[in-house]
Structure 1
Amino acid sequence: MHTVVRFNGGAQAAHNVVASDGRHHTFAQFGSGTFVPGVRTHLSRFMMVDPLSLAAEHEHLRALGVRDAFARLTVNWDAPLTTPYHRAANRAREAARGAARHGSCGMGVGETAAFALAHPDLAPRAGDCLAPARLRRRLTAVHDWYRAEFPADPSTRDPRGEAVPSVDDCMTAFLAFAASVRIVDDGYLPRVLRSERVVFEGAQGVLLDEWHGFHPYTTWSTTTFANAETLLAEAGEEGYRLGVLRAYATRHGPGPFVTEDPALTSDLPDPHNGAGPWQGAFRVGHLDAVALDYAVRAAGGVDGLALTHLDVARNRPDLGICRAYALDGETVRRLPSEPGRDRDLDRQAALTDRLLRARPVIEPLGDPVADVENALGAPVVLRSYGPTANDQITSLYGERQIQHSL
């Protein structure tokens, strides 16, 4: 593998990798292959790049002995930049929702996307870090927008208007980012794709997709294969679509979770996923074939599946599988046949309301691999029985992979 390409989301990703020697890192923006010497990361134009979080992640990798992560990083010039002002706006808006929180990660990804859509000529992008005057104008615009949108009120200790760095301080950090990484044009990635082995690494599951997910508990990002396939098509290439799922279901934060089982949540803690101040609780449930079928169709199908946490399933006879929901007096085995087709968020919100009333029909989980293959109509080509590469069994070699959580 030569390069890991990130093609959606931003610094909110949390991809935990445990090396065979015990080192652990939660990859957010660097590709999850960075522990392997020589493997590069490319942040595509679909990635929302947070230079401050990237610097912190780089320092953690340095502490683990990876001293050249920045030297192996390229960033597309058109990638939107997440600033401290976007992050502060994200947290202020989520806090204002009170008990109706959406479960944001609090990293500013949604605000970055929304600002770029509303103000395309003012949104800072990676290439601006090579043009200091333009960068200052755009950082100032975001700073002033944030202050106007969320004015501080010291007399009431209103949580809005939290402290943020000055534009000067932001300039210093963003210019240092530009000096540390290689910012490239649109021609770079097609050249790599035509000549090297590449893995596309997605972020967040398909059920959180901005158009296909269960609105409003979603992300401002396309979490299907679509962005990766656009980048491949521009190079005249195709990829192998690999869907990634656990042998049981999980969700971080609020939103529909039909197969959630409080007993499993308390009894199956994840060492690298806990409750967060913004995202909320880490929740666990039984394998949900109904939701997974919906995710596969929303993503346009998969060529193969990677099934993880099989070591957990092997030791948990109480884990089950749900092949149907009990909903409004009916048995539902399949969710709408064309999920998200019309980008109709009202329809997605109505689906969310239905799912919040659904109850699972749980059956015993037999052979997880066979059950998943039968439910989704695709082969399991990678099985994982533990946290390291040594715990994996795969029949997939030499393919240009697009990996995405379902």
Structure 2
Amino acid sequence: MDSIVVGLQWGDEGKGKVVQKLSRSHKWIVRFSGGPNAGHTVYHGNTKMVHHLLPSGTNENFLFISRGTLVDLETLNSEIKEISKIYPDIKERLFVSPYCRVITPIEKWQDGAIEKTKGKNSVGTTGRGIGPTVSNDANRVGIRLFDLFDQNHLKEKVDLLAEISNFGDQSIADELLSQFEKIKDRVLDPKVEGQILFEGTQGIMLDPMYGTYPYVTSTPTIPSFAFYGSGLKSEKYEVWGVFKAYTTRVGSGPFPTEIFGEAGDDLRKRGSEFGATTGRPRRCGWIDLPQLEYASNISNVDHLVMTKADVLNGLEKVGVCISYDKKIIPYDLGSLKPTIEYVKGWKNLESSEFADFISAIEHHVRRRIKYVSYGPSEEEIFQR
């Protein structure tokens, strides 16, 4: 059976490790959205690597960066070079769709300029050029990978994009072509046969249509986009929803269960909550059950996976948001008042108190937690 892995909060839930775990029973790992603004931390044996564009997987998998993904060629080539030290044959198993949108220095510059202009209303983007690349593509002036097969055509498109953006650097086309040459032979839509694992990015609450707009990402994060974003079909699939035992968020936007002061700092240190892509400290808060239920329903999740359960070990009490004063409306989340109850903490994951915590989540979300992850490596996970 095919699988789709998505995050059920605001990203950074630990999806990379879950994909790595599930990759053992799949042939293809497919990225279908996002770009280098996503960071999946994965351990390949004893080697830690942050995947920004390359799908998580092992030497048994074929990897496909499909058309819904935004590609920064410099980042992609850097990752290929890094992971080739672990899997020397990686390029033979990697394919990149020619329909992928290309992030250029123009969009990165635009990203910074737009955020600066917004001032106090900035959304806290990663500065990787994601939003402007999607915007330029919608305006039919963006660059796709297939444009790089024709040098003269590419230079015309780059000149137009630069003129529209008031960007003066004329060396961009040559830089793009230089990077493109390194992966040119891997740019094609492959014939995908065998079981597929679709790897999502960010989290459901960052989806531009179903999340906390305008504090969202620029490409869809819901699992139903996997097929549109990849161009692939699936006869039968299951959705895996990943969430932390608490909640985190990077950047601006509403966060009803956020913890401030010493308690927030303590949780951040316990969980090493700093962005894999930007290094920014993440905002931390208690688990939000209404939010988790909303994201699970929108995603039609079949299985839940809890990560970082061990981070809360040893706390005297643990906060749980059980309700709001009114129904969740994502764009109005900042106006909702959460009801937070405190449950008795647990010593370790064998404690009855932790079992009670699990049961409370499953009862509210009406889905079973199939795996519990308690550390960074692939082996540090158990099935329930």
- In the superposition, the TM-score normalised over structure 2's length comes to 0.82
Q: Could you tell me which amino acid in structure 1 is paired with residue 328 of structure 2?
A: L
Deviations 1:22-57 (A, max 9, x none): x11111100111xx2132221111111111111222
State whether structure 2 residue 172 is matched by structure 1 residue 209.
no
Gaps of 5+ in 1: 152-163, 326-330, 337-347, 396-406
Residue of structure 2 aligned with 1:96, choices 92, 117, 132: 117
1:141 equivalent in structure 2: 160
Shift of 1:210: 0.4
Alpha-carbon distance, 1:145 to partner: 2.4
Aligned to 2:320: 321
Q: Does 1:249 align with 2:247?
A: yes
User: What's the counterpart of residue 335 of structure 1?
Assistant: 328
Distance 1:19 1:225 in 2: 26
Pairing of 1:191-230 with structure 2 (within 5 A): 191-192=191-192, 195-230=193-228
Structure 2 counterparts to residues 277-288 of structure 1, below 5 A: 281-288=281-288
Describe the SS at the equivalent of 2:328: coil
Contact 1:130 1:178 in 2 (8 A): no
1:184 aligned to which of 182, 185, 188: 188
**Over aligned residue pairs, what C-alpha RMSD do you find?**
2.6
Q: Could you tell me which residue of structure 1 aligns to residue 348 of structure 2?
A: none
Superposition map of 1:5-404 within 5 A: 5-21=30-46, 23-33=47-57, 36-62=58-84, 65-119=86-140, 122-147=141-166, 166-179=171-184, 181-185=185-189, 188=190, 191-192=191-192, 195-230=193-228, 234-262=232-260, 263-269=262-268, 273-274=273-274, 281-299=281-299, 301-325=300-324, 331-332=325-326, 334-336=327-329, 349=331, 351-355=332-336, 358-364=337-343, 366=353, 367-394=356-383
Between the aligned partners of 1:275 and 1:304, the Cα distance in structure 2 is 26
**Compared with structure 1, are the counterparts of its residues 116 and 374 closer, same or farther at alpha carbon in structure 2 (3 Å cutoff)?**
same
**Bigger Cα displacement from structure 2, 41-50 vs 66-75:** 66-75
Question: Aligned-pair distance for 1:139?
Answer: 2.3
Gaps of 5+ in 2: 1-25, 345-352
Q: Cα distance, 1:231 vs. partner?
A: 6.3
Distance in 2 separating the partners of 1:100 and 1:233: 35
- CA–CA distance in 2 between the matches of 1:146 and 1:260? 38
Cα deviations across residues 271-328 of structure 1 (Å, max 9, x unaligned)?
Answer: 76426997954111111001111212232x1111111111113333432211113xxx
Q: How many residues are paired up?
A: 347
How far 1:4 moved relative to its partner? 1.0
Q: Which moved more, 1:247-256 or 1:368-377?
A: 368-377
| Alignment check: 8 A CA contact 1:143 1:167 kept | no
Structure 1 residue 215 displacement after superposition: 1.3
Cα contact 2:33–2:229 (8 A) shared by 1: no
Deviation at 1:244, TM superposition (A): 0.5
Matches of 2:310 and 2:293 in 1, distance apart?
23
Aligned to 1:143, what secondary structure does the other structure show? helix
1:76 maps to amino acid: S
SS at 1:175's partner residue? helix
Secondary structure of the structure 2 residue equivalent to 1:389:
coil
Q: Report the Cα offset of residue 227 of structure 1.
A: 1.5
> How far does the alpha carbon of each residue in 1:83-128 deviate from its partner, in whole angstroms, 9 at most, with x for none?
1111111111112222222010111111111111112xx3211222
Judged with a 3 Å threshold, the aligned counterparts in structure 2 of structure 1 residues 170 and 143 are, in CA distance, closer, same or farther, namely farther
Aligned to 1:341: none
Distance, in Å, in 2 between the alignment partners of 1:320 and 1:60 is 40
Cα offset, 1:197, TM superposition: 2.1
TM-score normalised per structure 1: 0.78
- Higher relative contact order at CA 8 Å, sep ≥6: structure 1 or structure 2? 2
Measured against aligned partners, the alpha-carbon deviations of 1:54-95 in whole angstroms (never above 9, x if no partner) come to 122223334x53434333221112111111111111111112
Contact in 1 for aligned 2:77/2:183 (Cα 8 Å)? no
Match of 1:402 in 2: none
